[in-house]
Structure 1
Amino acid sequence: MDKLEEIMAHKREEISNRMRPVRESELERLGRLADQRPAFAKSLKRDGGLAVIAEIKRKSPSAGEIKILPEAAEQARLYYNAGADAMSILTDEKFFGGTLRDLWEVTDFISDAKRDIPCLRKDFMVHPLQVVEAAEAGASCILIIVRALTDDEIRPIHEAAQIAGLDALFEVHNEKEVERTLTHDPKIIGVNNRDLARFKTDLEFSERLIPMIPKDIIRISESGIFEPEDAHRARACGADAVLVGEALMRAENPEELISVFHDIDSV
Protein backbone atom coordinates (compact mmCIF):
# COMPACT_ATOMS: atom_id res chain seq x y z
CA MET A 1 0.00 0.00 0.00
CA ASP A 2 1.47 3.40 -1.00
CA LYS A 3 1.08 6.47 1.23
CA LEU A 4 -1.92 7.94 -0.57
CA GLU A 5 -3.74 4.63 -0.40
CA GLU A 6 -2.99 4.48 3.33
CA ILE A 7 -4.32 8.01 3.85
CA MET A 8 -7.47 7.37 1.81
CA ALA A 9 -8.19 4.12 3.63
CA HIS A 10 -7.93 5.95 6.95
CA LYS A 11 -10.10 8.82 5.69
CA ARG A 12 -12.88 6.50 4.55
CA GLU A 13 -12.84 4.81 7.95
CA GLU A 14 -12.74 8.15 9.76
CA ILE A 15 -15.72 9.62 7.96
CA SER A 16 -17.77 6.42 8.27
CA ASN A 17 -18.49 7.38 11.90
CA ARG A 18 -20.41 10.48 10.82
CA MET A 19 -21.65 9.40 7.38
CA ARG A 20 -25.17 10.45 6.45
CA PRO A 21 -27.07 11.32 3.27
CA VAL A 22 -26.64 14.88 2.03
CA ARG A 23 -29.87 16.43 0.78
CA GLU A 24 -29.86 18.75 -2.23
CA SER A 25 -31.92 21.26 -0.24
CA GLU A 26 -29.14 21.40 2.34
CA LEU A 27 -26.59 22.18 -0.37
CA GLU A 28 -28.90 24.76 -1.94
CA ARG A 29 -29.24 26.53 1.42
CA LEU A 30 -25.45 26.74 1.64
CA GLY A 31 -25.35 27.93 -1.95
CA ARG A 32 -27.60 30.86 -1.11
CA LEU A 33 -24.97 31.96 1.39
CA ALA A 34 -22.14 31.69 -1.14
CA ASP A 35 -21.95 35.44 -1.78
CA GLN A 36 -20.87 35.84 1.84
CA ARG A 37 -17.69 33.90 1.03
CA PRO A 38 -14.93 35.35 -1.19
CA ALA A 39 -14.54 33.55 -4.52
CA PHE A 40 -11.49 31.31 -4.67
CA ALA A 41 -10.98 31.17 -8.43
CA LYS A 42 -11.41 34.92 -8.82
CA SER A 43 -8.76 35.61 -6.18
CA LEU A 44 -6.10 33.85 -8.27
CA LYS A 45 -6.44 36.11 -11.30
CA ARG A 46 -3.68 38.68 -10.88
CA ASP A 47 -2.56 41.26 -13.42
CA GLY A 48 0.98 39.99 -13.92
CA GLY A 49 2.96 38.00 -11.41
CA LEU A 50 2.00 34.89 -9.52
CA ALA A 51 -0.89 34.53 -7.13
CA VAL A 52 0.10 32.89 -3.85
CA ILE A 53 -1.99 30.38 -1.93
CA ALA A 54 -0.44 30.30 1.55
CA GLU A 55 -0.90 27.01 3.34
CA ILE A 56 -1.29 26.27 7.04
CA LYS A 57 0.33 22.88 7.62
CA ARG A 58 1.75 21.75 10.96
CA LYS A 59 3.30 18.50 9.73
CA SER A 60 3.37 16.09 6.79
CA PRO A 61 4.41 12.49 6.11
CA SER A 62 7.40 13.75 4.12
CA ALA A 63 8.62 16.67 6.26
CA GLY A 64 7.58 15.49 9.72
CA GLU A 65 6.82 18.26 12.19
CA ILE A 66 7.03 21.64 10.46
CA LYS A 67 5.83 24.12 13.07
CA ILE A 68 4.21 23.93 16.50
CA LEU A 69 1.09 26.03 16.10
CA PRO A 70 -1.39 26.20 18.98
CA GLU A 71 -3.88 28.24 16.92
CA ALA A 72 -4.27 28.29 13.16
CA ALA A 73 -5.39 31.93 13.27
CA GLU A 74 -1.89 32.84 14.47
CA GLN A 75 -0.40 31.74 11.13
CA ALA A 76 -3.36 33.13 9.20
CA ARG A 77 -2.59 36.56 10.64
CA LEU A 78 0.93 36.39 9.21
CA TYR A 79 -0.40 35.40 5.79
CA TYR A 80 -3.08 38.08 5.93
CA ASN A 81 -0.51 40.78 6.70
CA ALA A 82 1.76 39.37 3.97
CA GLY A 83 -0.90 39.89 1.31
CA ALA A 84 -1.60 36.25 0.43
CA ASP A 85 -4.20 35.90 -2.32
CA ALA A 86 -5.78 32.82 -0.72
CA MET A 87 -5.15 30.38 2.10
CA SER A 88 -5.11 26.60 2.23
CA ILE A 89 -5.93 24.98 5.55
CA LEU A 90 -5.07 21.33 6.19
CA THR A 91 -7.94 19.75 8.10
CA ASP A 92 -6.60 16.17 8.24
CA GLU A 93 -5.47 15.39 11.77
CA LYS A 94 -3.66 12.06 11.65
CA PHE A 95 -1.20 12.77 8.85
CA PHE A 96 -1.05 16.59 8.76
CA GLY A 97 -1.93 17.74 12.28
CA GLY A 98 -4.90 19.86 11.28
CA THR A 99 -8.58 19.88 12.20
CA LEU A 100 -11.83 21.30 10.89
CA ARG A 101 -11.67 23.68 13.82
CA ASP A 102 -8.57 25.24 12.22
CA LEU A 103 -10.66 26.16 9.18
CA TRP A 104 -13.35 27.71 11.38
CA GLU A 105 -10.71 29.73 13.25
CA VAL A 106 -9.11 31.05 10.07
CA THR A 107 -12.35 32.02 8.33
CA ASP A 108 -13.59 33.70 11.53
CA PHE A 109 -10.33 35.67 11.73
CA ILE A 110 -10.59 36.73 8.07
CA SER A 111 -14.22 37.76 8.54
CA ASP A 112 -13.34 39.89 11.56
CA ALA A 113 -10.41 41.44 9.67
CA LYS A 114 -12.83 42.43 6.90
CA ARG A 115 -10.62 41.60 3.94
CA ASP A 116 -11.78 39.02 1.43
CA ILE A 117 -9.26 36.18 1.39
CA PRO A 118 -10.80 32.85 0.33
CA CYS A 119 -9.87 29.56 1.96
CA LEU A 120 -9.38 26.09 0.56
CA ARG A 121 -10.32 23.14 2.73
CA LYS A 122 -7.29 20.92 2.09
CA ASP A 123 -8.33 17.39 2.92
CA PHE A 124 -8.95 14.03 1.31
CA MET A 125 -12.50 14.20 -0.01
CA VAL A 126 -14.48 10.98 -0.20
CA HIS A 127 -18.09 12.08 0.37
CA PRO A 128 -20.36 15.14 -0.17
CA LEU A 129 -20.71 15.48 3.60
CA GLN A 130 -17.18 16.91 3.64
CA VAL A 131 -18.40 19.59 1.22
CA VAL A 132 -21.14 20.54 3.67
CA GLU A 133 -18.58 20.74 6.47
CA ALA A 134 -16.31 22.92 4.33
CA ALA A 135 -19.09 25.34 3.40
CA GLU A 136 -20.37 25.58 6.96
CA ALA A 137 -16.83 26.37 8.14
CA GLY A 138 -16.55 29.23 5.65
CA ALA A 139 -14.37 27.63 2.97
CA SER A 140 -14.62 28.85 -0.60
CA CYS A 141 -13.05 25.80 -2.23
CA ILE A 142 -12.49 22.08 -1.73
CA LEU A 143 -9.76 19.76 -2.99
CA ILE A 144 -10.45 16.82 -5.29
CA ILE A 145 -7.45 14.50 -5.67
CA VAL A 146 -8.10 12.82 -8.99
CA ARG A 147 -5.74 9.93 -8.41
CA ALA A 148 -7.56 9.00 -5.19
CA LEU A 149 -11.06 8.76 -6.67
CA THR A 150 -12.94 7.18 -9.55
CA ASP A 151 -14.92 9.42 -11.89
CA ASP A 152 -18.10 8.06 -10.33
CA GLU A 153 -16.83 9.21 -6.92
CA ILE A 154 -15.70 12.60 -8.22
CA ARG A 155 -19.06 13.55 -9.76
CA PRO A 156 -21.21 13.71 -6.61
CA ILE A 157 -18.48 15.55 -4.69
CA HIS A 158 -18.02 18.10 -7.48
CA GLU A 159 -21.77 18.52 -7.97
CA ALA A 160 -22.24 19.05 -4.25
CA ALA A 161 -19.56 21.74 -4.29
CA GLN A 162 -21.19 23.51 -7.22
CA ILE A 163 -24.62 23.52 -5.60
CA ALA A 164 -23.13 24.75 -2.31
CA GLY A 165 -21.34 27.59 -4.15
CA LEU A 166 -17.81 26.28 -3.64
CA ASP A 167 -15.04 26.06 -6.20
CA ALA A 168 -13.16 22.78 -6.62
CA LEU A 169 -9.42 22.47 -7.09
CA PHE A 170 -8.74 19.31 -9.08
CA GLU A 171 -5.30 17.96 -8.21
CA VAL A 172 -3.42 15.91 -10.83
CA HIS A 173 -0.15 13.99 -11.00
CA ASN A 174 0.09 12.67 -14.57
CA GLU A 175 -1.19 13.06 -18.12
CA LYS A 176 -4.06 10.60 -17.74
CA GLU A 177 -5.34 12.48 -14.70
CA VAL A 178 -5.29 15.77 -16.65
CA GLU A 179 -7.39 14.13 -19.36
CA ARG A 180 -9.83 12.72 -16.79
CA THR A 181 -10.14 16.07 -15.05
CA LEU A 182 -10.99 17.92 -18.24
CA THR A 183 -14.13 15.78 -18.62
CA HIS A 184 -15.43 17.31 -15.36
CA ASP A 185 -15.41 20.90 -16.68
CA PRO A 186 -12.98 22.23 -14.04
CA LYS A 187 -12.27 25.89 -13.31
CA ILE A 188 -9.06 25.19 -11.38
CA ILE A 189 -6.43 22.48 -11.81
CA GLY A 190 -3.43 22.06 -9.55
CA VAL A 191 -0.38 20.02 -10.46
CA ASN A 192 1.09 18.50 -7.33
CA ASN A 193 4.85 18.33 -7.72
CA ARG A 194 4.94 15.78 -4.92
CA ASP A 195 4.28 12.17 -5.88
CA LEU A 196 1.82 11.16 -3.17
CA ALA A 197 2.76 7.50 -3.50
CA ARG A 198 6.38 8.11 -2.48
CA PHE A 199 6.19 11.72 -1.28
CA LYS A 200 9.12 12.79 -3.47
CA THR A 201 9.00 16.24 -5.05
CA ASP A 202 10.04 17.34 -8.54
CA LEU A 203 8.98 20.54 -10.35
CA GLU A 204 9.20 18.58 -13.58
CA PHE A 205 5.61 17.52 -12.88
CA SER A 206 4.43 21.11 -13.40
CA GLU A 207 6.71 21.68 -16.38
CA ARG A 208 5.28 18.61 -18.07
CA LEU A 209 1.60 18.87 -17.17
CA ILE A 210 0.68 22.57 -16.90
CA PRO A 211 1.14 23.16 -20.67
CA MET A 212 -1.49 20.45 -21.23
CA ILE A 213 -4.12 22.46 -19.35
CA PRO A 214 -6.17 25.00 -21.37
CA LYS A 215 -5.30 28.61 -20.53
CA ASP A 216 -8.89 29.49 -19.62
CA ILE A 217 -8.51 27.18 -16.59
CA ILE A 218 -6.60 28.50 -13.58
CA ARG A 219 -3.36 26.51 -13.32
CA ILE A 220 -1.62 26.01 -10.00
CA SER A 221 1.78 24.55 -9.20
CA GLU A 222 1.65 22.87 -5.78
CA SER A 223 4.45 21.70 -3.47
CA GLY A 224 8.20 22.07 -3.87
CA ILE A 225 8.09 25.87 -4.07
CA PHE A 226 10.79 27.08 -1.68
CA GLU A 227 12.93 29.63 -3.52
CA PRO A 228 12.31 32.34 -6.14
CA GLU A 229 13.93 30.01 -8.71
CA ASP A 230 11.20 27.43 -8.04
CA ALA A 231 8.48 30.02 -8.54
CA HIS A 232 10.18 31.21 -11.74
CA ARG A 233 10.05 27.64 -13.10
CA ALA A 234 6.36 27.38 -12.22
CA ARG A 235 5.53 30.71 -13.86
CA ALA A 236 7.63 29.94 -16.94
CA CYS A 237 5.60 26.81 -17.71
CA GLY A 238 2.30 28.68 -17.36
CA ALA A 239 1.26 28.56 -13.70
CA ASP A 240 -1.14 31.30 -12.61
CA ALA A 241 -0.54 30.57 -8.94
CA VAL A 242 1.65 28.62 -6.55
CA LEU A 243 0.53 26.82 -3.42
CA VAL A 244 3.23 27.18 -0.78
CA GLY A 245 3.16 25.46 2.59
CA GLU A 246 6.38 24.34 4.22
CA ALA A 247 8.50 27.29 3.03
CA LEU A 248 6.04 29.83 4.44
CA MET A 249 5.45 27.91 7.65
CA ARG A 250 9.19 27.90 8.34
CA ALA A 251 9.86 31.45 7.11
CA GLU A 252 10.75 34.12 9.68
CA ASN A 253 9.25 36.69 7.32
CA PRO A 254 6.46 35.24 5.14
CA GLU A 255 5.65 38.72 3.84
CA GLU A 256 9.06 39.01 2.15
CA LEU A 257 8.74 35.61 0.45
CA ILE A 258 5.17 36.22 -0.75
CA SER A 259 6.21 39.63 -2.09
CA VAL A 260 9.01 38.04 -4.11
CA PHE A 261 6.63 35.43 -5.56
CA HIS A 262 4.08 38.12 -6.45
CA ASP A 263 6.71 39.96 -8.49
CA ILE A 264 7.58 36.94 -10.62
CA ASP A 265 6.15 37.22 -14.12
CA SER A 266 6.62 34.96 -17.13
CA VAL A 267 10.15 34.69 -18.45
Structure 2
Amino acid sequence: MKGRKQAQVESVLKELGMEALEERLQSAAALPARPAYRLTSLIAESAPRGKAVLVWEVVRPGPASSPADLARLARQYVSLGADALAVRTDAADSPSALADLWAVTQAVKVPVLARDWVIHPLQVVDAKEAGAAGVLGVIHQDAPVEVVNAQEMDSLSRAGVAFFGINLSIGLSLPISGFAEDVAHGLLGRLPFGAVSLVGVKTIDEARTARQSGADALLIKQELIAAHSDAAAAKEAASNPFAMSGLRRLTEELQYVTSGDE
Protein backbone atom coordinates (compact mmCIF):
# COMPACT_ATOMS: atom_id res chain seq x y z
CA MET A 1 0.00 0.00 0.00
CA LYS A 2 2.66 2.51 1.05
CA GLY A 3 4.81 1.85 -2.02
CA ARG A 4 1.85 2.10 -4.39
CA LYS A 5 0.65 5.35 -2.82
CA GLN A 6 4.14 6.84 -2.90
CA ALA A 7 4.51 5.99 -6.59
CA GLN A 8 1.09 7.47 -7.32
CA VAL A 9 1.85 10.75 -5.54
CA GLU A 10 5.31 11.02 -7.11
CA SER A 11 3.75 10.64 -10.57
CA VAL A 12 1.32 13.50 -9.87
CA LEU A 13 4.10 15.72 -8.51
CA LYS A 14 6.30 15.06 -11.54
CA GLU A 15 3.49 15.96 -13.92
CA LEU A 16 2.63 19.10 -11.95
CA GLY A 17 6.17 20.43 -11.66
CA MET A 18 7.89 22.18 -8.76
CA GLU A 19 6.81 25.71 -9.66
CA ALA A 20 3.13 24.83 -10.03
CA LEU A 21 3.27 22.76 -6.84
CA GLU A 22 4.68 25.65 -4.84
CA GLU A 23 2.01 27.95 -6.24
CA ARG A 24 -0.80 25.60 -5.24
CA LEU A 25 0.56 25.09 -1.72
CA GLN A 26 1.02 28.82 -1.15
CA SER A 27 -2.47 29.54 -2.46
CA ALA A 28 -3.97 26.95 -0.13
CA ALA A 29 -2.06 28.31 2.85
CA ALA A 30 -3.29 31.84 2.11
CA LEU A 31 -6.92 30.68 2.17
CA PRO A 32 -7.64 28.82 5.44
CA ALA A 33 -10.08 25.94 5.23
CA ARG A 34 -13.59 26.96 6.21
CA PRO A 35 -15.83 23.97 5.48
CA ALA A 36 -19.52 24.64 6.08
CA TYR A 37 -19.86 21.56 8.27
CA ARG A 38 -17.19 20.54 10.81
CA LEU A 39 -16.90 17.13 12.42
CA THR A 40 -15.30 18.50 15.58
CA SER A 41 -18.15 20.99 15.98
CA LEU A 42 -20.69 18.21 15.53
CA ILE A 43 -18.93 16.10 18.18
CA ALA A 44 -18.91 19.04 20.59
CA GLU A 45 -22.65 19.54 20.05
CA SER A 46 -23.47 15.83 20.44
CA ALA A 47 -21.36 15.06 23.52
CA PRO A 48 -23.60 16.82 26.09
CA ARG A 49 -26.54 14.72 24.82
CA GLY A 50 -24.58 11.50 25.34
CA LYS A 51 -24.65 10.77 21.62
CA ALA A 52 -21.87 9.26 19.56
CA VAL A 53 -21.41 10.78 16.09
CA LEU A 54 -21.82 8.14 13.37
CA VAL A 55 -19.56 8.65 10.34
CA TRP A 56 -20.52 6.32 7.49
CA GLU A 57 -17.89 5.30 4.96
CA VAL A 58 -18.90 5.92 1.34
CA VAL A 59 -17.47 3.67 -1.39
CA ARG A 60 -18.41 3.30 -5.05
CA PRO A 61 -20.99 0.49 -5.37
CA GLY A 62 -19.22 -0.90 -8.44
CA PRO A 63 -16.52 -0.26 -11.08
CA ALA A 64 -19.01 1.38 -13.45
CA SER A 65 -20.40 3.73 -10.79
CA SER A 66 -20.17 7.50 -11.32
CA PRO A 67 -19.76 10.46 -8.95
CA ALA A 68 -23.52 11.01 -9.32
CA ASP A 69 -24.13 7.45 -8.10
CA LEU A 70 -21.95 8.11 -5.07
CA ALA A 71 -23.83 11.35 -4.37
CA ARG A 72 -27.13 9.44 -4.39
CA LEU A 73 -25.67 6.85 -2.02
CA ALA A 74 -24.44 9.62 0.28
CA ARG A 75 -27.91 11.18 0.40
CA GLN A 76 -29.37 7.77 1.24
CA TYR A 77 -26.96 7.30 4.15
CA VAL A 78 -27.76 10.74 5.53
CA SER A 79 -31.50 10.11 5.21
CA LEU A 80 -31.01 6.90 7.21
CA GLY A 81 -29.28 8.77 10.01
CA ALA A 82 -25.58 9.16 9.17
CA ASP A 83 -24.22 12.21 11.03
CA ALA A 84 -21.19 12.55 8.74
CA LEU A 85 -19.55 10.75 5.81
CA ALA A 86 -16.06 9.55 4.87
CA VAL A 87 -15.31 9.17 1.16
CA ARG A 88 -12.52 6.85 0.08
CA THR A 89 -10.25 8.86 -2.21
CA ASP A 90 -7.52 6.34 -2.93
CA ALA A 91 -6.99 5.54 -6.63
CA ALA A 92 -7.63 1.86 -5.88
CA ASP A 93 -11.19 2.72 -4.84
CA SER A 94 -12.09 5.08 -7.68
CA PRO A 95 -10.64 6.31 -11.00
CA SER A 96 -12.00 9.80 -10.24
CA ALA A 97 -11.81 10.03 -6.46
CA LEU A 98 -11.71 13.82 -6.22
CA ALA A 99 -14.77 14.08 -8.47
CA ASP A 100 -16.46 11.61 -6.13
CA LEU A 101 -15.49 13.70 -3.12
CA TRP A 102 -16.75 16.91 -4.72
CA ALA A 103 -20.05 15.27 -5.71
CA VAL A 104 -20.65 14.07 -2.15
CA THR A 105 -19.74 17.37 -0.49
CA GLN A 106 -22.22 19.15 -2.78
CA ALA A 107 -24.96 16.57 -2.24
CA VAL A 108 -25.26 16.56 1.56
CA LYS A 109 -25.31 19.03 4.44
CA VAL A 110 -23.14 17.08 6.88
CA PRO A 111 -19.35 16.94 7.46
CA VAL A 112 -17.55 14.96 4.74
CA LEU A 113 -14.06 13.54 5.29
CA ALA A 114 -11.57 12.34 2.67
CA ARG A 115 -10.24 8.92 3.67
CA ASP A 116 -6.86 8.17 2.11
CA TRP A 117 -3.22 7.47 2.84
CA VAL A 118 -2.00 11.05 3.18
CA ILE A 119 1.75 11.35 2.57
CA HIS A 120 2.06 14.75 0.87
CA PRO A 121 0.56 18.24 1.44
CA LEU A 122 -0.80 18.26 -2.12
CA GLN A 123 -3.30 15.57 -1.13
CA VAL A 124 -4.57 17.87 1.61
CA VAL A 125 -4.93 20.73 -0.88
CA ASP A 126 -6.87 18.46 -3.26
CA ALA A 127 -9.26 17.39 -0.50
CA LYS A 128 -9.72 20.97 0.66
CA GLU A 129 -10.52 22.20 -2.85
CA ALA A 130 -13.03 19.36 -3.23
CA GLY A 131 -14.91 20.66 -0.19
CA ALA A 132 -13.86 18.10 2.41
CA ALA A 133 -14.23 19.01 6.08
CA GLY A 134 -11.10 17.05 6.90
CA VAL A 135 -8.61 14.30 6.08
CA LEU A 136 -6.45 12.07 8.20
CA GLY A 137 -3.42 13.57 9.92
CA VAL A 138 -3.36 17.22 8.82
CA ILE A 139 -3.77 20.65 10.37
CA HIS A 140 -6.39 23.39 9.76
CA GLN A 141 -9.06 20.88 8.83
CA ASP A 142 -10.65 18.28 11.12
CA ALA A 143 -7.73 15.89 11.33
CA PRO A 144 -8.00 12.63 13.24
CA VAL A 145 -4.49 11.17 13.47
CA GLU A 146 -4.59 7.37 13.63
CA VAL A 147 -2.84 5.62 16.52
CA VAL A 148 -2.50 1.92 17.28
CA ASN A 149 -0.75 1.95 20.65
CA ALA A 150 -0.23 4.03 23.78
CA GLN A 151 3.28 5.14 22.80
CA GLU A 152 1.98 6.78 19.61
CA MET A 153 -0.83 8.48 21.50
CA ASP A 154 1.50 9.85 24.18
CA SER A 155 3.98 11.17 21.61
CA LEU A 156 1.29 12.84 19.53
CA SER A 157 -0.34 14.31 22.65
CA ARG A 158 2.94 15.99 23.54
CA ALA A 159 3.06 17.36 19.98
CA GLY A 160 -0.34 19.00 20.47
CA VAL A 161 -2.61 16.58 18.60
CA ALA A 162 -6.18 16.77 19.94
CA PHE A 163 -8.15 14.56 17.52
CA PHE A 164 -7.28 10.86 17.44
CA GLY A 165 -8.38 8.08 15.11
CA ILE A 166 -8.25 4.61 16.66
CA ASN A 167 -8.50 1.35 14.71
CA LEU A 168 -9.83 -1.20 17.18
CA SER A 169 -10.24 -3.88 14.51
CA ILE A 170 -6.58 -4.82 14.98
CA GLY A 171 -7.07 -5.64 18.62
CA LEU A 172 -10.60 -6.95 18.29
CA SER A 173 -9.54 -9.58 15.76
CA LEU A 174 -7.21 -11.29 18.23
CA PRO A 175 -8.76 -14.41 19.85
CA ILE A 176 -7.80 -13.40 23.39
CA SER A 177 -10.60 -13.07 25.93
CA GLY A 178 -11.03 -9.49 27.09
CA PHE A 179 -8.31 -8.12 24.78
CA ALA A 180 -10.72 -5.96 22.78
CA GLU A 181 -12.02 -4.25 25.90
CA ASP A 182 -8.48 -3.72 27.17
CA VAL A 183 -7.46 -2.05 23.91
CA ALA A 184 -10.51 0.20 23.92
CA HIS A 185 -10.24 1.22 27.55
CA GLY A 186 -6.46 1.57 27.36
CA LEU A 187 -6.27 3.88 24.36
CA LEU A 188 -9.46 5.85 24.86
CA GLY A 189 -8.70 6.19 28.55
CA ARG A 190 -5.36 7.83 27.76
CA LEU A 191 -6.83 10.66 25.68
CA PRO A 192 -5.52 14.02 26.89
CA PHE A 193 -8.03 16.41 28.43
CA GLY A 194 -10.15 18.06 25.76
CA ALA A 195 -9.17 15.61 23.00
CA VAL A 196 -11.76 13.78 20.91
CA SER A 197 -11.72 10.36 19.26
CA LEU A 198 -12.92 8.72 16.06
CA VAL A 199 -12.92 4.90 16.19
CA GLY A 200 -13.26 2.68 13.11
CA VAL A 201 -15.59 -0.31 13.54
CA LYS A 202 -16.51 -3.27 11.33
CA THR A 203 -19.16 -4.94 13.53
CA ILE A 204 -21.97 -3.98 15.90
CA ASP A 205 -19.98 -5.50 18.77
CA GLU A 206 -17.01 -3.27 17.94
CA ALA A 207 -19.32 -0.25 17.92
CA ARG A 208 -20.72 -1.22 21.31
CA THR A 209 -17.24 -1.77 22.81
CA ALA A 210 -15.88 1.50 21.40
CA ARG A 211 -18.79 3.57 22.65
CA GLN A 212 -18.80 1.98 26.11
CA SER A 213 -15.10 2.79 26.30
CA GLY A 214 -15.72 6.47 25.59
CA ALA A 215 -15.40 6.95 21.81
CA ASP A 216 -16.80 10.31 20.68
CA ALA A 217 -17.41 9.27 17.06
CA LEU A 218 -17.52 5.99 15.17
CA LEU A 219 -16.37 5.41 11.59
CA ILE A 220 -18.84 2.85 10.24
CA LYS A 221 -16.66 0.93 7.80
CA GLN A 222 -17.74 -0.52 4.49
CA GLU A 223 -17.54 -4.10 5.81
CA LEU A 224 -20.31 -3.39 8.32
CA ILE A 225 -22.43 -1.52 5.78
CA ALA A 226 -22.05 -4.30 3.18
CA ALA A 227 -23.13 -6.92 5.71
CA HIS A 228 -26.44 -5.06 6.06
CA SER A 229 -26.84 -4.08 2.40
CA ASP A 230 -30.09 -4.54 0.50
CA ALA A 231 -28.65 -7.70 -1.09
CA ALA A 232 -27.94 -9.20 2.32
CA ALA A 233 -31.35 -8.10 3.57
CA ALA A 234 -33.07 -9.65 0.55
CA LYS A 235 -31.58 -13.04 1.39
CA GLU A 236 -32.90 -12.76 4.95
CA ALA A 237 -36.30 -11.56 3.76
CA ALA A 238 -36.71 -14.75 1.73
CA SER A 239 -37.08 -16.65 5.00
CA ASN A 240 -38.46 -13.78 7.11
CA PRO A 241 -41.10 -11.65 5.37
CA PHE A 242 -41.10 -9.21 8.30
CA ALA A 243 -37.38 -8.37 8.03
CA MET A 244 -36.83 -4.62 7.68
CA SER A 245 -34.47 -2.94 5.19
CA GLY A 246 -30.91 -3.97 5.95
CA LEU A 247 -29.42 -0.48 6.18
CA ARG A 248 -32.37 0.85 8.16
CA ARG A 249 -31.94 -1.97 10.66
CA LEU A 250 -28.21 -1.24 10.83
CA THR A 251 -28.99 2.38 11.67
CA GLU A 252 -31.35 1.38 14.46
CA GLU A 253 -28.87 -1.12 15.90
CA LEU A 254 -26.06 1.45 15.85
CA GLN A 255 -28.22 4.08 17.50
CA TYR A 256 -29.25 1.57 20.16
CA VAL A 257 -25.77 0.31 21.08
CA THR A 258 -24.26 3.80 21.10
CA SER A 259 -27.04 5.61 22.95
CA GLY A 260 -25.76 4.80 26.44
CA ASP A 261 -29.17 3.39 27.43
CA GLU A 262 -28.47 -0.20 26.45
TM-score by length of 2: 0.75
Task: Report the Cα offset of residue 187 of structure 1.
Answer: 3.0
Contact 1:188–1:217 (8 Å) recurs in 2:
yes
Task: Report the Cα offset of residue 22 of structure 1.
Answer: 4.0
Task: Report the Cα offset of residue 190 of structure 1.
Answer: 1.3
Contact 2:144–2:197 (8 Å) recurs in 1:
no
> Which residue is equivalent to 1:130?
123
- Percent identical: 26
Match for residue 209 of structure 2 among 219, 233, 241: 233
* Greater RCO, 1 or 2 (C-alpha within 8 Å, sep 6+): 1
Tell me which amino acid in the other structure corresponds to 1:75. Answer: L
Say how many residue pairs are matched: 223
Contact 1:81–1:255 (8 Å) recurs in 2:
no
> Which residue is equivalent to 2:155?
180
Match for residue 190 of structure 1 among 151, 161, 165: 165
Q: Which has the larger radius of gyration?
A: 2
User: Could you say if the C-alpha distance between residues 260 and 174 of structure 1 is closer, same or farther in structure 2, counting changes exceeding 3 Å?
Assistant: same
Task: Report the Cα offset of residue 102 of structure 1.
Answer: 1.5
> Which residue is equivalent to 1:211?
189
User: Could you say if the C-alpha distance between residues 14 and 39 of structure 1 is closer, same or farther in structure 2, counting changes exceeding 3 Å?
Assistant: same
Could you list the runs of 5+ residues in structure 2 that have no partner in the other structure? 231-245
Task: Report the Cα offset of residue 29 of structure 1.
Answer: 4.2
Contact 2:88–2:114 (8 Å) recurs in 1:
yes
Task: Report the Cα offset of residue 217 of structure 1.
Answer: 1.1
1:197-221 CA-partner distances (Å, limit 9, x unpaired): xx95784533331111125111122
Contact 1:44–1:85 (8 Å) recurs in 2:
no
User: Could you say if the C-alpha distance between residues 250 and 232 of structure 1 is closer, same or farther in structure 2, counting changes exceeding 3 Å?
Assistant: closer
1:10-43 CA-partner distances (Å, limit 9, x unpaired): 1111011222444564123441x61x52112112
> Which residue is equivalent to 1:52?
54
Give the structure with the larger strand fraction. 1
TM-score by length of 1: 0.74
- Note the aligned Cα RMSD (angstroms): 2.6
1:208-260 CA-partner distances (Å, limit 9, x unpaired): 31111125111122133x22x33221111111111112212442343432343
